Chains A and B, each alone.
Chain A
């Protein structure tokens, strides 16, 4: 039964990810006084792309077509580590948060290679910038997770969630605010949102992710888009699970799961609204200010680790 719930969690992340994207886009449009596309638009986009043919640049090797698949597979495995409705996950191992960070790195590494395989300047440009952002995001990402792991005295994400569930919200350690802030900043960089990267830009001065996928089309592009939607949702789910998991089902009963679903929906809605507000009110940072942005995240993460160690 638990296995079933865990499998459903992964499926939910897989299937609802495009919706999250659609809702964000719609909300942003409303905030900017536009009507915006339907929230189901990402699904129709994916369908359309899957039906189209795959255009491959003549200079490209097998890596070009392998990259989207590896990215998609890696993101899907990451989804299996994150508890969503119940405080457990499909994959659960001590120290799996390191695996989570490195699986995201695996997908990104291959996407960078795929971008460079196209043989144009755009791919290299995007890959080079992505290398900068992801390099500097990896340390605060891991340190924030380390501080959560130390506080919970366990090395697995599901274990950390279980521990937090047992804590009282109002007596919950203030150190977690630091870790949460660090992880939220990293999440923005990791998922390529404003102010680090603009997912809707097509101006070469500002493109990072879009420059990398410029050469992709058809099913390959669909896989990349789907994977980045899943990544966004998974990172949001990770933030919720690690820092505000209350409401997750403690036992496996229909009622508990139903309550957990509604609570999750509300929490997700809050995060999505926050993201849409930030994206509508903040301008994208200059490239060379991104290291400062991630520097703040690193400082917060380091403080989080130090204070967690002090307060053990």
Chain B
């Protein structure tokens, strides 16, 4: 039965581009592709839910019909990520059904509705593939379709450069992933064979597989220092596409890494875990620090994806350390934390990007310095954005807290290990996670406070209007999910517990996870009673002007700006930023009144300067050197061919 549901989901997804192309003939049919796509995603949710909670397995094997090894197979891990993709995409598509119509017309709109389902389909392919071929096929398509979706918003020089960086890094990452698969030869056919052969592999080969998977999937996930493409590519895509890229696409990389590190390899030596922990900690801290200094909303959100991927990697790293120390119980807890954070991040990050879309739709800008006072103009968008902010910061009663708490809990459990280094490193990692959380709180107090509260800082923000109903509904659904997971975490935790039991033999989700699930609903109830009670008691209010020290003329420019808000933190962490500042003052007469002042502050991250720049320079220098071979003289070319022929003959003769 579920097999039929799954098959019809795949078929339905494939029909959407066709439907788009057919329906573009009718003028009024622009809602049809969105409706068909949402319908097929709903079918996908049904299939994935069966797989995730009931453990149903389904397969689609093309290799029996055609002669190439293309097969899909959904186990619990795949089903979880399939559920994540479908259930987060559905509200995003609902949002898009109105957003796309308002912002795109003609060919661009049709391209969007053709590429969006194909992009979703490629992600589905990645998480359901059961052969290397199908996985890599989906992996490459995912990159290409997302690049196509970014191009829909225009192809100026700057954008093309950003997309070039994106494609370049994705292909470098894909090369590493392909390498990881190739090392399984001759068993690289399907996943079951790979799993079986991994146990008999020599340790050096296992390490090579792990490192290739770490780098390959890390590039896609955007861990520091492989994150360079992320803040370039995500902000320039249409907002719903940014939501899907940041919220959903990054998770396919986590899926791949979990598949390799836990399912195929089943963990390894401790240093694997420490490496992942280090990557997670560095990504988390640098991601949030770079985010704080941004005032373009979408770039800021993109850097927060780096941060959250860091938090996920902290959980994965802890799980690997626990596995190496033969503590499957705690490994399961850490892995559960990481997977739950995947789901939570998918939900609240999509919501934040949709919120950014709603802001740009209503106020026509994403620069925080031009926003303000939107809460009163856009009540629902404001509330759902606030919920998303609370979730990403990890405040109690919102979803992000549950996964961060589980991560903390697993770090604390390390004190029960006999291995001393693990017992010291993991509890200290809790401090790193707390610092990341604190910085994220500062950042999102800035985002919400500057964009939604106070007075509008530009004319357009002052006349912004609430967005259309489908956009509100899409965001509202995601916000509801944030609160439900935050208050009743056991809804998801139970399924995840079974999943980690399958991945890590001998593990069951410890009782520790349940203790929180018992407390949270009561705290939520207490908050609800108190908030409603006090609000009802304290209803009288009197509107007055804001206190301006008794002077008239308080205006919106006197409010703290986003840059001003983050200045103290930027100053404390100035070693991280190292901005290049140039200040030119042309003195006037008298010199106290300069005729012109120009100030420029450029921040190129140290990674670009010290890690990538030398590499790029070396490649360009080598290319220039090689260019001397290309003289344009045909006789010289003939000489090359002749020399190559002689060399080949010699080679064949002597080898």
Interface residues of A (CB under 8 A from B): 53-63, 65-66, 69-70, 72-74, 76-77, 91, 93-96, 98-99, 101-103, 105-106, 108-109, 112-113, 115-125, 127-129, 131-132, 134-143, 146-147, 149-150, 153, 155, 214-215, 219-220, 223, 287-288, 291, 298, 301-302, 305-306, 308-310, 312
Contacts and interface: CB of A to CB of B under 8 A. Distances in A.
Interface in B552-602: 554, 556, 558-561, 564-569, 571-572
9 contacts: A63-B452, A70-B527, A106-B395, A121-B559, A134-B442, A137-B438, A214-B547, A220-B538, A312-B415
Interface SS of chain A:
helix
A124 B559 contact: yes
A16 B138 CA distance: 63
Nearest to A107: B395
A70 B516 contact: no
Given A58-B545, A72-B534, A118-B454, A138 B437 contact: yes
A258 to B, nearest CB: 30
A187 B496 CA distance: 37
B518 interface: yes
A65 B512 CA distance: 36
Given A95-B512, A102-B395, A305-B428, A57 B415 contact: no
B396 interface: yes
B535 interface: yes
Given A123-B560, A128-B560, A56 B544 contact: yes
Contacts of B444: 109
A105 B438 contact: yes
Given A128-B567, A143-B434, A309-B427, A120 B445 contact: no
Interface string B529-552: 011001100101111111110000
Contact of A153 (B394, B405, B416): B416
A238 to B, nearest CB: 17
A127 B396 contact: no
B527 A142 contact: no
B611 to A, nearest CB: 27
Which of B394, B411, B431 is the most central at the interface, judged by chain A CB atoms within 10 Å of its CB?
B431
Given A99-B396, A109-B441, A150-B427, 17 more contacts: A54-B541, A55-B542, A61-B452, A73-B526, A73-B527, A74-B396, A105-B393, A105-B395, A109-B393, A124-B561, A127-B560, A131-B568, A135-B435, A142-B408, A153-B416, A155-B412, A309-B423
A131 B446 contact: yes
Contacts of A102: 394-396, 401, 405, 437
B622 interface: no
B534 A223 contact: yes
B572 A134 contact: no
B33 to A, nearest CB: 37
A101 B431 CA distance: 12
Interface in B252-295: none
B548 A120 contact: yes
Interface in B513-530: 515-516, 518-519, 522-523, 526-527, 530
Given A94-B515, A99-B405, A305 B424 contact: yes
Contact of B373 (A55, A59, A65, A99): A59
Interface string B446-471: 10111011110000000000000000
Interface residues of B, number: 82
B442 A131 contact: yes
B535 A95 contact: no
A98 B569 contact: no
A122 B558 CA distance: 9
B441 A288 contact: no
A113 B512 contact: no
Contacts of A291: 572
B96 interface: no
B559 A120 contact: yes
B526 to A, nearest CB: 6
A105 B424 CA distance: 26
A56 B560 contact: no
B515 A135 contact: no
Given A95-B408, A119-B546, A302-B428, A139 B435 contact: yes
A299 to B, nearest CB: 11
Contacts of B408: 95, 98, 142
A65 B530 CA distance: 13
B356 to A, nearest CB: 18
A73 B471 CA distance: 32
Interface of B: 373, 375-376, 382, 386, 390, 393-397, 401, 405, 408-409, 411-412, 415-416, 420, 423-424, 427-428, 430-432, 434-435, 437-439, 441-442, 444-446, 448-450, 452-455, 511-512, 515-516, 518-519, 522-523, 526-527, 530-531, 534-535, 538, 540-548, 554, 556, 558-561, 564-569, 571-572
Nearest to A112: B445
Contacts of A70: 527, 531
Given A56-B544, A99-B396, A65 B535 contact: yes
- Sorted nearest first, the 5 A-B pairs with minimum C-beta distance are A124-B560, A116-B449, A131-B442, A135-B438, A138-B438
Which of B420, B519, B566 is the most central at the interface, judged by chain A CB atoms within 10 Å of its CB?
B519
Contact of B424 (A94, A223, A309): A309
A119 B559 contact: yes
A120 B538 contact: no
A139 B427 CA distance: 11
Contacts of A58: 543-546
Contact of A127 (B430, B445, B452, B548): B445
B304 to A, nearest CB: 15
Nearest to A120: B546
Contacts of A287: 568
Contacts of B546: 57-59, 118-120, 215
Nearest to B422: A309
Given A56-B541, A95-B516, A155-B512, A139 B572 contact: no
Nearest to A295: B572
Contact of B558 (A56, A108, A113, A120): A120
A220 B534 CA distance: 10
Contact of B420 (A55, A57, A309): A309
B540 A131 contact: no
A112 B449 contact: yes
Given A128-B568, A129-B568, A146-B430, A116 B530 contact: no
A138 B560 contact: no
Given A91-B519, A112-B449, A113-B445, A143 B431 contact: yes
B442 A120 contact: no
Contacts of A155: 409, 412, 512
B436 to A, nearest CB: 9
B449 A113 contact: yes
B396 to A, nearest CB: 5
A95 B513 CA distance: 9
A308 to B, nearest CB: 8
Contacts of A98: 405, 408-409
B530 A149 contact: no
Contacts of A65: 535, 538, 541
Contacts of A117: 375, 449, 453-454
Contacts of B543: 55-58
B526 A61 contact: no
Contacts of A141: 434
B530 A121 contact: no
B424 A135 contact: no
Contacts of B534: 69, 72, 223
B395 A109 contact: yes
B454 A94 contact: no
